[in-house]
């Protein structure tokens, strides 16, 4: 589902060059749930951003869902991201002055889905994450775990094949973290969604199919 071949990423400023990824090759199968661990600064977010087509590698090749990425224009990339990928972040990235339903509808608005259908799909996604009773709440009125469930609903509302999650349980206590992890495990097993998750939590990582460890931009496991 995601193939990375010899990915290198160099960040250059006037004075410093940082080799953030040093030749990463990975083959992630459809339906796989992969976790990525490693110390701060080892390249985890860079790797996830490259898989999510938010950042370009300095060299190497990426194929996602059979499509070679380097042949796409920026517009095609944006469209591909919106249609095929779902993103979840540690800090939720919700829009505070939109209520829960409107937050979840956002990816569909971009796709020009009509209002009635947007509402139907967003309501359905919120049912999946067990948040049907908070549709008109605003993010500031929700607990951390509830905010992350809204973010998951937003990520899955367009039925993406792949979910990329950057420390989705990083801001949550262990009870809420486990709830979020259970939702991700269910999306993976029931809907066959491929998931790549960056985490600092060995317990969460053990629940996934495979663990990749990075150190200084190199895969060590």
40 binds ligand ADP (CB under 6 A): yes
Q: Residue 69: exposed, middle, or buried by beta-carbon count in 10 A (0-12, 13-18, 19+)?
A: middle
Interface of this chain with ligand ADP, residues 84 to 143, rule: CB under 6 A: 134, 137, 141-143
Distance CA 31, CA 10 (A): 30
The distance of closest approach from Cβ of residue 40 to ligand ADP in the complex, given in angstroms and rounded to an integer, is: 5
> Nearest to residue 131, comparing CAs of 168, 156, 97?
156
State the number of binding residues for ligand ADP (CB under 6 A). 17
Place of tokens 């500031």: 140
205 binds ligand ADP (CB under 6 A): no
- Residue 144: CB atoms within 10 A of its CB come to 16
20 binds ligand ADP (CB under 6 A): yes
| Among residues 7, 33, 43, 92, the one that binds ligand ADP under rule CB under 6 A | 43
Contact 163, 192 (CB under 8 A): no
The distance of closest approach from Cβ of residue 209 to ligand ADP in the complex, given in angstroms and rounded to an integer, is: 21
Summarize as ranges the residues that interact with ligand ADP (CB under 6 A). 11, 18, 20, 38, 40-46, 134, 137, 141-143, 146
């Amino acid at each position: 589902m995601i193939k990375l071949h010899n990915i290198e990423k160099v960040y250059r400023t006037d004075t410093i060059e940082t080799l953030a990824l040093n030749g990463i090759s990975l083959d992630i199968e459809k339906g796989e749930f992969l976790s990525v661990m490693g110390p701060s600064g080892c390249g985890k977010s860079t790797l996830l951003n490259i898989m999510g087509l938010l950042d370009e590698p300095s060299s190497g090749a990426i194929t996602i869902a059979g499509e070679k990425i380097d042949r796409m224009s920026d517009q095609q990339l944006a469209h591909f991201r919106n249609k095929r990928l779902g993103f979840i972040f540690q800090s939720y990235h919700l829009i505070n002055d939109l209520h829960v339903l409107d937050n979840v509808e956002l990816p569909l608005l971009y796709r020009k889905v009509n209002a009635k259908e947007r509402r139907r799909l967003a309501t359905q996604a919120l049912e999946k994450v067990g948040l049907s009773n908070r549709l008109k709440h605003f993010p500031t009125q929700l607990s951390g775990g509830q905010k992350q469930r809204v973010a998951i609903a937003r990520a899955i509302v367009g039925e993406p094949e792949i979910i990329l999650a950057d420390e989705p349980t990083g801001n949550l206590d262990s009870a809420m973290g486990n709830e979020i992890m259970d939702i991700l495990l269910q999306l993976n097993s029931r809907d066959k969604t491929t998931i790549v998750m960056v985490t600092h939590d060995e317990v969460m990582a053990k629940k996934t199919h495979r663990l990749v460890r990075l150190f200084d931009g190199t895969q060590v496991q």
